């Protein structure tokens, strides 16, 4: 799946929803729907780009170096203002741009998926939908919300996430700090609400 993404969907600054080699694109005449910037060969729904990064990190060959490289390559899309419904790529070498062509919305909440990739993927923070009420030790609750203890290298990344509002208090998480060279996630600070 990773190879398919890199060979047929990824562009230097974004992703396509459909491969240029998709059966619909090879039809003559080509259906107009294939050119939709959110679901076609000319771009992708903004959330799909973020979810592709997360999938790269978690697939069988999970490689954080690769996932972070793809995430960084999409950073220019943030210069277009708030995320919209889609970003378009018309040529392989062209940067992705926010479009309003067709019925594409200028602003949409799906860009929040990039925030989720940072929280869930990079910082391994994935709390339960409802925090357990019986959890009396805030630090223990936060530890459980960090998937698999946040172990594993994160592409040589060193980062701190401060002011994260959790069910157990305000927290700071750190990657690549401390004694360990694993690049795992550590709880740097937790200020309980109680």
Question: Which domain does 93 fall in, by range?
Answer: 2-117
Asked if 4 and 58 touch (Cβ cutoff 8 Å), the reply is no
Q: How far apart, in whole angstroms, are the C-alpha atoms of residue 40 and residue 20? A: 9
Between CA 59 and CA 65, with CA 61 as vertex, the angle to 5 degrees is 95
Assess whether 175 and 140 both reside in one domain.
Answer: yes
pLDDT band at 141 (very low <50, low <70, confident <90, very high): low
State pTM to two decimals: 0.75
Assess whether 131 and 184 both reside in one domain.
Answer: yes
Q: How far apart, in whole angstroms, are the C-alpha atoms of residue 160 and residue 169? A: 17
Asked if 57 and 41 touch (Cβ cutoff 8 Å), the reply is no
Q: Is the pLDDT of residue 151 over 70?
A: no
Q: How far apart, in whole angstroms, are the C-alpha atoms of residue 154 and residue 181? A: 11
DSSP secondary structure string, 155-188?
Answer: TT--EEEEEEEETTEEEEEEES-SS-SS--EEEE
For 92-106, the pLDDT digits (tens) are 666 776 777 777 777
From residue 103, alpha-carbon distances to 31, 33, 49, 173, 185 in Å are 17, 12, 19, 40, 41
Terminal Cα distance for the chain, rounded = 46
Residues 33-53, mean pLDDT to the nearest whole number: 87
Assess whether 137 and 46 both reside in one domain.
Answer: no
Assess whether 113 and 129 both reside in one domain.
Answer: no
Last residue of a domain, one of 74, 100, 117: 117
Assess whether 139 and 81 both reside in one domain.
Answer: no
- Return the higher-pLDDT residue of 131 and 26: 26
Assess whether 109 and 60 both reside in one domain.
Answer: yes
């Amino acid at each position: 799946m990773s190879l398919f993404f890199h060979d047929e969907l990824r562009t230097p600054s974004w992703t396509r929803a459909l491969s240029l080699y998709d059966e619909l694109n090879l039809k003559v005449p080509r259906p107009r729907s294939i050119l939709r910037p959110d679901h076609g060969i000319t771009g992708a729904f903004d959330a799909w780009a973020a979810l592709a990064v997360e999938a790269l990190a978690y697939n069988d060959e999970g490689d954080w170096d690769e996932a972070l490289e793809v995430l960084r390559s999409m950073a220019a899309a943030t210069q277009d203002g708030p995320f919209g419904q889609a970003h378009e790529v018309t040529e392989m070498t062209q940067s992705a741009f926010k479009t309003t062509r067709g019925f594409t919305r200028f602003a949409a909440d799906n860009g929040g998926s990039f925030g989720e990739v940072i929280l869930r993927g990079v910082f391994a923070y994935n709390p339960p939908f409802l925090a357990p009420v019986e959890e009396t030790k805030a630090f223990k609750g936060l530890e459980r919300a960090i998937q698999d203890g946040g172990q594993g290298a994160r592409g040589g990344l060193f980062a701190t996430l401060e002011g994260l509002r959790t069910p157990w208090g305000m927290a700071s998480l750190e990657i690549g700090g401390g004694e360990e060279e694993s690049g795992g996630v550590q709880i740097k600070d937790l200020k309980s609400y109680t």
